[in-house]
A and B are shown apart, each in its own frame.
Chain A
Amino acid sequence: MKSAVIVFPGSNCDRDLAVAIRDVSGIAPTMVWHGDTELPDGLGLIALPGGFSYGDYLRSGAMAARSPILRAVIDAAERGVPVLGVCNGFQVLTEAGLLPGALMRNAGIDFVCRDVSLTVENAQSIFTSRYAQGEKITVPVAHHDGNYFADDATLDRIEGEGRVAFRYDGQVNGSARNIAGVINASGNVLGMMPHPERRIEAAHGGTDGRRLFEGLLELVGA
């Protein structure tokens, strides 16, 4: 699977994401700088990493969402190219308008950094096909601004359309309806606060994150 990882100044999970994708697909992603304006052709996945792009200035993900490369990412997403945003990547996707809602400061103020239990709410998406519907998985979180917010009408709509991919089992950061990951209407964009790239080999304490990348590879192809 040909893929790209977007690198923003301040991102610190870009390499983790690249290693995970390379390990699963056998092909190292192209690392694309935020100031570039074009993406490689024929991508099966565009990944937006976690970290603190632009130092989280103004709002988490706000500057990255207006960076030159995001125009190309938005165009690709609208053409149906799969896009995965993890943590800060999720924040960037909401700020860019590719996903509904916004991510606010954690309700408990603390930075949350630990393993959390998630329920797979939709196992039909290109990102979740290797999971069972309703399966409990364990994936780490590490964030300060993971408190998902959207108005009730939006929450009702995304729940009704099966666009909640993952839900926290219990309170983690104050997220509306414990939402941990959201898919767009076309089904090709996923944003999630937990870090699947930090759960891909036994040495990480588990491999629950690995199946996300395996499922993508299977469905998107080599």
Chain B
Amino acid sequence: MKLRIFVTLKPGVLDPQGKAIHKALDGLGFGGVNDVRAGKLIELDVADSTDDAAIDEMCRKLLANTVIENYRVERA
């Protein structure tokens, strides 16, 4: 089973990487970009028997730092 884990900074947490990307887009002449937030995509290939609780635990224990990040799991 393939999983896609999206890890994003929580709303309100400053995202300097997003700001840098935004500035670069402005520099390329792409006006009208209101905001940019950068995150991570982590792809996992796990045994089909892997249950939701285990996936959630992987995210909370390692893949995301829940002090500053949210995560979302998508099953491919």
Binding site for B on A (CB under 8 A): 58-59, 62, 66, 94-95, 101-102, 104-109, 147, 149-150, 174
Contact partner of A95 among B13, B14, B65, CB < 8 A? B65
Contact partner of B63 among A58, A95, A102, CB < 8 A? A58
Q: Are B20 and A109 in contact (CB under 8 A)?
A: yes
Q: Are B19 and A59 in contact (CB under 8 A)?
A: no
Q: Are A66 and B62 in contact (CB under 8 A)?
A: yes
Encoded as 1 (CB less than 8 Å from any A CB) or 0, chain B from 19 to 55 comes to: 1100000000000000000000000000000000000
> Is B68 on the interface with A (CB-CB < 8 A)?
yes
Other than the given A62-B65, A109-B20, A149-B13, 10 more pairs (CB < 8 A) read A58-B63, A66-B61, A101-B67, A102-B67, A104-B13, A105-B17, A107-B14, A109-B17, A109-B19, A149-B67
Q: Is the interface of B mostly helix, strand, loop or mixed?
A: helix
Q: Are B62 and A102 in contact (CB under 8 A)?
A: no
User: Number of B residues whose C-beta is below 8 Å from A?
Assistant: 12
- Expressed in whole angstroms, the minimum distance between the Cβ of B1 and any Cβ of chain A is 22
**Measured CA separation A159–B63 after assembly (Å):** 29
**Measured CA separation A101–B67 after assembly (Å):** 7
- From A150, which residue of chain B is reached at the shortest CB distance? B67
Q: Are A149 and B16 in contact (CB under 8 A)?
A: no
- Give me the 4 closest cross-chain CB pairs, A-B, nearest first: A102-B67, A102-B68, A109-B16, A105-B16
A95 contacts which chain B residues (CB < 8 A)? 65
- Expressed in whole angstroms, the minimum distance between the Cβ of A79 and any Cβ of chain B is 23
- Expressed in whole angstroms, the minimum distance between the Cβ of B15 and any Cβ of chain A is 8
**Measured CA separation A175–B6 after assembly (Å):** 26
- From B42, which residue of chain A is reached at the shortest CB distance? A58
Q: Are A108 and B16 in contact (CB under 8 A)?
A: yes
**Measured CA separation A109–B22 after assembly (Å):** 13
